[in-house]
Structure 1
Amino acid sequence: MSIRGNAMKNLVNLEELHISAEYLWFLYKNSFAGLDKLTILSLSGGNQHFTASLTSAIESKNILTNLEAFSIRNTVLLKQGKKTVKAIITKPSKSLDMNFITTDEFNFFQSLWFPKCPEKINISFSNFNNEYFGYGVNFFLLRESFKSEYTHSGFSFISSTHKDHYLRSHKLNFAKRIKSRRIKDLKVLDASYVSSPMVNGYVQYVLELKNKTITLPLEIVTLVSRAEIVNISGIYQHYKTIKLESLSVSIVQYFSRHSPTRELIVKNNRLEYLDVTFLCSESKLEKLDLSSNVIEFIHPNMCSCCTKLLEINLSSNNLFKMAERNYSLFGQLISSYQNLKNVILSSNKLSEIPTEMFHENMYLEQIDLSSNVLTKISFNLGHVLNLKTINLRNNRISVLDQTSLTNIQILNAPSSKSSQSFGILKINDNPILCSECKTLPFIKWLASTSLVERSGNNIFCKNHKGTRIHADQNAAEQLQEECDKPERIKNVIILSSVIPIAATILIVISICTWLRYRRYRLRRGKIEEKIKLIQRNQLDTRFVVFLSYSSEDTDFLNEYVYNPLKIRLQEKLQTERDIICLGDRHFQLGKPINDEMVQTLQQSAVVLLLFSRNFCSSEFCRMEFDHALFMKKPFIVMVKGEIDINDMVPSMQEVFRRNTRLLWERDGNIFVMKTSWDNVIFSILELI
């Protein structure tokens, strides 16, 4: 597509012109002549031959004199790109949109040196296929290459003549130009998702540095310090994440109170580990957006000079790892920014917030902790003066305990200095329960408090039927009714006792209760009789318990079984007599093992088997088991750890499957029994 000269001269009242073509080939010197009222011009689809003709079409001072917004998208800029941008910038336009452009030669940074600059520049999603935006970064990498004899990112120089020429013709000229010209009018610079080998190459160089103080190249710092709002999201496009360890970065000569930058957006740059501090003087930065990275650690003093910071956005990162590994440092994460008003920590998988997390931030107005995995409000807010919103949406809060309620209710106390306490807490989209009586105090508080934001009545809870209902006064009344139901049923039964049916039910219940009680008393009576027999030493057997175990498990047996069992049995039976048989202690020396096994088993009332891998493979343990089985001795089975039933003989397998088992499970370096010793002793006495 081409536009001839004077083709639009009769469109004198045209204010907006949008031209989009698959191939925009050629423009002429007077292609836009006559468009004196045009304020918006948008071009899209220019090829490599388009740049020179565009320059010719717009460079005249008498063309597009009232242009306010210029957009050139999906275009290829070659060697004439600088002239094209100069022609655009000399227009009175306030907005320059150059996103989705591709260039091999165009030096973007130099275009910012012109005395007049648009208020807004957008170069997002553009491809700068050369190794630079300007000369600054190239010179920085060259300087480091000369210093360390290190070749990086394709910067390789082989002659001192080449080096001297580069230093003379680029370093000095570049420094003079930067010193004499500043970007005066730029308010918004959107360089998000720009593709440049220079950026990736410089970052890869920095990643190799540790425990050093470095000075950033002037060009990179200028990009983020010469506009009020700067967006460099997604500018780092490499599969490796950015891990900066023990680095100090000096930007004091660029990023100071003279810098206009008030908002910096650094999203989607694969930032992971930021153990870095920026050395600068007082900064005007008010908003910092580091969201949608993969940040696992960020130094609390990363930007200690950012004393005017009002908002920090750290959402959609992995800060739960910092909370797990460096809990104390995580608690100091925002302590350096004492003027903060808004802090955003949503979508970080955080399960707990340190108590004093916001202790230094008394001017906070908004705290966003939504989309985490919090179950309580663990942080103190009593010192905050003007808190307006605590966003806890989409967490895992089922009920707020008393500590959580205390931490939030302090905002509604008469002594609170908060200028607004109504509707502070956003708690919707949490799995709140109104099905258990223990949640009743919380549901009553939730239904009546003015601290909870209720727009749209969108706070739900799950009742005893599993149905989601509004967490309002009706929910509190329903839960109260459910909690009162057992008492009401009891009262109805009492009041209906005169009715035959109720009387019959009462009689049946009484009989069943009496029978159960009678059985219980009989069992207890038998056990008491056995205890008396043991105390008087009138039991048919000498020992109450025979411990059958493998000698490989002796240490375990003594520590976890024999000593605790002996103490509790003697306490229960009120006797000091030795009533537990151990083969190693009670076998008589010099006699056949088999005979001693038989004799001690005959003298024992109950056999306690300690099954383990060693037990299953021991021939002597099998002999003890076979003798006890033949004598029809009652068994109590203990199992140590995991065992394979296939390692047991068939008779042992049968007992293992038939009898209930007492399990010992490993918990770290110790073993834990999955029942109580009272239960074990009761079972022993019942089996005698």
Structure 2
Amino acid sequence: MYPTVALSLTVCMFIACSSACSTSCVCIKDKATCRTPDPSGLVLSEHIREVVLQDLNASLLTNNTFSANSQWSQIETLEIWANGGESLGSRVFTGLSGLTYLGYHNEHMFYMEYDAFYGLDHLKELDFSTNIRLQTMSFLISMYSKNLPRLNKLTLTGLHSYYVETINADYNFFQSIAGLDIQRNITYLDISNVTFGEFNFQAFIQNGLCDSVHKVYLRYATFLNIQGYVAEETCSSLEVLDISDSLLPNIMLDFTISKIDFLCRLTMFYFNIEELYINGLGKYMMTPPLQDDRDGDLSSCPYKMRKLSLENNLIKRLNYTVKLHNDTQKTMEWISLAGNILEFISPLFLSPSFNLKYLDLSSNQLHKMQEHYEDMFELLIQNNTKLNVLKLNRNGIARIPSNMFLTNTELEVLDLSDNNLSSLDFNIGRLTNLKVLNLSYNAISYIDAQTRDTMEQLAAATNSHKLRIDLSNMPYICSCDDNHMETIQWIHRNLDTFITSPREDYMCTLQDERLYIFQNALEKTKSYCRVQRVKRDLAISLSIVCVFLLIGIAVFLKIQGIRRRQRERKNLLSQIEVGEFPKKFLAFLSFSSDDAELVVNTILPRLNSELQLKTGTSRVLVCSGDRHFRPGYALGEEIIRCIEDSAVTILAVSKNFCQKEWCRKEVQETYDQNKPIVLLLLERVEPDEMGKVLRKLFSRYAHASWISDSNGGHMEPDWSILCDALLDLTVEQSEKNTFKLKWLNWFSS
């Protein structure tokens, strides 16, 4: 099998191309590509119609090179890349009578004979690009002849561009192109990447080129001087003009870009132009163009413009209302403002072009308009209801207004990629003609349920075509959050339906690990979430168990404490009843002598009797200075003794009490002995009137009050509660003393 195939291929190659040993040719269908310094020895098969000659030595070309072999008369397309020879000889293309396209490129050629193009009577397209050393006059002389009568397309890119010298596109220049004795029907002219010392528009018209030329390309050119750019007649045939990335004189830059409201008669030359490309001119200006706020009235200028490209011109603002001619409003279909520094575009700038189908605003700074003028940003394309393509990519936009695309129901391509969108909360439900929605390279970490439903409905509604949505290269998060998990599952499920882009461009982050969504992201996320769910359930269970355990312990300790206190209280009552209570008194009542009548005659006897009822004893349980201080002993010593002999101290506080020196000493002594203290307010006393210690006790502990009434007064809370509090405080103090004693014994042992 293999030898047969190899033999067939060899025969095929031999039939297609045959040459001398020094020549290597490759033939594909009807095209032959050969590397040879001299093509005279080539033998081509009958079906070859297109030939590319590489590494040709131009000095070896003669008038017999192609004429000696009749096979060359069948060639229709010839591309020559020469690397030798400084001139192009006389009648070197003789024999190529069937040629319709000739491309000749020789960076070393200085000169060509006037009749070099002899015999190319059927040639329609001549590509003479990259002949960077060729003398312009030498080429023009060859074009003056009657040769190339049927030439339509002429490309002179880079002509004579190697030198500092300039080309003058004057009357003689355009006359040679149009033909001196024959009027060529030139429809396409490309003279890009050259330096013009002069460029004369009037000469272009006078030589009849405005009756034939449809397309003129002057890209990457330098114009030192322009003559006749204000013409008083329309170039009737000119449809496409491209002067992108060229350097124009200052007056021409100002005329072309900045002054749109010039008089119509000054622009008559351009009335029939349908496509105008003036990209990259602004980079040569000191200040960005089109920043003023004036209106331009072009309603009397019958432009036929369909395409307008103003890319890479450093345009910052288009706060401009343009009034267009009725015909221009209807014809304008394509506008590109990409690659500028646009921060603001007035909706009134675009609204006259109601038939606009293509709008490219990519690579600008429209996030500033979205941030500061969101209401106007929302209305930007409201009037352009026939838009098919809208590009807003690479603008740093953080949010699309909800109703921005409400009227653009004919949109087929919407590019919002390379922005800072963090959510997709704008309305796209009406875009039923949409074919491409590019949202890649934004800041979206998940897609909410409503947006997912809208996209699915939109994909289902586009019955006549297939919707492709690019959601790649987003900072998706693989987590157990419902939104994140559902987003990953949804993307995975819809890859083969409407989600597009290479699979490797869809990644998500799981615990600082980057995962491919269409490989193992979903599996790993589910596994991770199962582990997290078990941990969470375990943590919740343990927490509940711990809470109930702590509650049980607290309840148990509370019950034990209540029972223990009941036992201690019962034991206390028993001790008091049988006379075994270690203290002489249950309470020491401290009061001011100014309050003695109330305290001694009313409060003291009632308190003592209430305590006796609680404890079931007849002994005196309340100590007071007037009754129990020993005569002849120092007051200080008696205060200390009585406080030590009592379990609890009751301070009968009044304004007089706060002012008495001995009362303050009793308070301080009780505080120093760390005894339980109960405040009994005999009247309203402001905290500022109390001493430091008394004020601290007042703000920290609850107190009792004696309330005067028509019955001689009563206690709040009542006597029973007060007595219970005194007994409970006595029990707590006893427990503290017992605990302290145990710790002291333990440390001493």
* Candidates 448, 459, 469, aligned match of 2:493: 448
Counterpart mapping for 1:72-111 below 5 A: 72-75=157-160, 77-79=166-168, 81-89=170-178, 90-108=183-201, 110-111=203-204
After TM superposition, give the deviation of residue 357 of structure 1 in Å.
0.3
Partners of 2:193 and 2:398 lie apart in 1 by 41
Deviates more, 1:341-350 or 1:233-242: 233-242
User: 1:362–1:385: 8 Å Cα contact kept in structure 2?
Assistant: yes
Partners of 2:695 and 2:302 lie apart in 1 by 89
Aligned to 1:469: 515
For residue 293 of structure 2, give the secondary structure of its aligned residue in structure 1: strand
Partners of 2:491 and 2:445 lie apart in 1 by 12
Give the direction of change, closer, same or farther, for the CA distance of 1:109–1:451 in structure 2 (3 Å limit).
farther
For residue 291 of structure 2, give the secondary structure of its aligned residue in structure 1: strand
Aligned to 1:182: 235
Partners of 1:117 and 1:601 lie apart in 2 by 108
Aligned to 1:562: none
Q: How many corresponding residue pairs?
A: 477
Give the direction of change, closer, same or farther, for the CA distance of 1:475–1:84 in structure 2 (3 Å limit).
same
For residue 302 of structure 1, give the secondary structure of its aligned residue in structure 2: helix
Deviations 1:531-561 (A, max 9, x none): xxxxxxx999x9xxxxxxxxxxxxxxxxxxx
Counterpart mapping for 1:264-279 below 5 A: 264-279=308-323
Aligned to 2:296: 249
Amino acid at match of 1:182: C
After TM superposition, give the deviation of residue 324 of structure 1 in Å.
0.7
* Candidates 133, 140, 160, aligned match of 1:55: 140
User: 2:102–2:126: 8 Å Cα contact kept in structure 1?
Assistant: yes
Aligned to 1:129: 224
**TM-score with structure 1 length normalisation?**
0.60
For residue 234 of structure 1, give the secondary structure of its aligned residue in structure 2: coil
After TM superposition, give the deviation of residue 371 of structure 1 in Å.
0.5
Amino acid at match of 1:244: Q
Q: Which has the higher contact order (CA 8 A, sep 6+)?
A: 1
Partners of 1:420 and 1:32 lie apart in 2 by 53
**TM-score with structure 2 length normalisation?**
0.55
After TM superposition, give the deviation of residue 397 of structure 1 in Å.
0.9
Aligned to 1:484: 530
Aligned to 1:6: 90
After TM superposition, give the deviation of residue 220 of structure 1 in Å.
5.5
For residue 445 of structure 1, give the secondary structure of its aligned residue in structure 2: helix
After TM superposition, give the deviation of residue 437 of structure 1 in Å.
2.4
* Candidates 101, 104, 118, aligned match of 1:33: 118
Aligned to 2:377: 330
For residue 198 of structure 2, give the secondary structure of its aligned residue in structure 1: coil
Give the direction of change, closer, same or farther, for the CA distance of 1:61–1:519 in structure 2 (3 Å limit).
farther
Counterpart mapping for 1:386-535 below 5 A: 386-412=433-459, 416=461, 418-419=462-463, 422-438=466-482, 439-449=484-494, 452-472=498-518, 475-488=521-534, 514=549
After TM superposition, give the deviation of residue 264 of structure 1 in Å.
1.8
Partners of 2:152 and 2:333 lie apart in 1 by 32
- Quote the RMSD (CA, aligned, Å): 4.3
Partners of 1:520 and 1:188 lie apart in 2 by 94
After TM superposition, give the deviation of residue 297 of structure 1 in Å.
0.5
Aligned to 1:20: 106
After TM superposition, give the deviation of residue 427 of structure 1 in Å.
0.1
Counterpart mapping for 1:363-382 below 5 A: 363-382=410-429
Counterpart mapping for 1:586-665 below 5 A: none
Partners of 1:205 and 1:452 lie apart in 2 by 42
For residue 196 of structure 1, give the secondary structure of its aligned residue in structure 2: coil
After TM superposition, give the deviation of residue 366 of structure 1 in Å.
1.2
After TM superposition, give the deviation of residue 285 of structure 1 in Å.
1.8
Partners of 1:276 and 1:420 lie apart in 2 by 39
Aligned to 1:196: 248
Amino acid at match of 1:276: Y
User: 1:221–1:251: 8 Å Cα contact kept in structure 2?
Assistant: no
User: 2:476–2:509: 8 Å Cα contact kept in structure 1?
Assistant: no
For residue 106 of structure 1, give the secondary structure of its aligned residue in structure 2: strand
User: 1:307–1:338: 8 Å Cα contact kept in structure 2?
Assistant: yes
Give the direction of change, closer, same or farther, for the CA distance of 1:478–1:135 in structure 2 (3 Å limit).
closer
For residue 451 of structure 2, give the secondary structure of its aligned residue in structure 1: helix
After TM superposition, give the deviation of residue 309 of structure 1 in Å.
0.9
* Candidates 208, 212, 227, aligned match of 1:117: 212
Aligned to 2:362: 315
Which of the two has higher C-alpha Rg?
2
Counterpart mapping for 1:155-234 below 5 A: 174-175=231-232, 178=233, 181-184=234-237, 186-198=238-250, 202=254, 206=258, 214-215=261-262, 222-223=269-270, 226-234=272-280
Aligned to 2:631: none
After TM superposition, give the deviation of residue 121 of structure 1 in Å.
2.0
User: 2:491–2:499: 8 Å Cα contact kept in structure 1?
Assistant: no
User: 2:187–2:214: 8 Å Cα contact kept in structure 1?
Assistant: yes
Where does structure 2 lack aligned partners over 5 or more consecutive residues? 1-84, 562-648, 654-685, 701-749
Where does structure 1 lack aligned partners over 5 or more consecutive residues? 137-173, 208-212, 495-505, 527-537, 543-584, 589-594, 606-688
Partners of 2:518 and 2:88 lie apart in 1 by 70
For residue 184 of structure 2, give the secondary structure of its aligned residue in structure 1: coil
Partners of 2:119 and 2:177 lie apart in 1 by 17
Partners of 1:441 and 1:463 lie apart in 2 by 15
After TM superposition, give the deviation of residue 9 of structure 1 in Å.
5.5
User: 1:28–1:53: 8 Å Cα contact kept in structure 2?
Assistant: yes
After TM superposition, give the deviation of residue 405 of structure 1 in Å.
2.9
After TM superposition, give the deviation of residue 514 of structure 1 in Å.
4.2
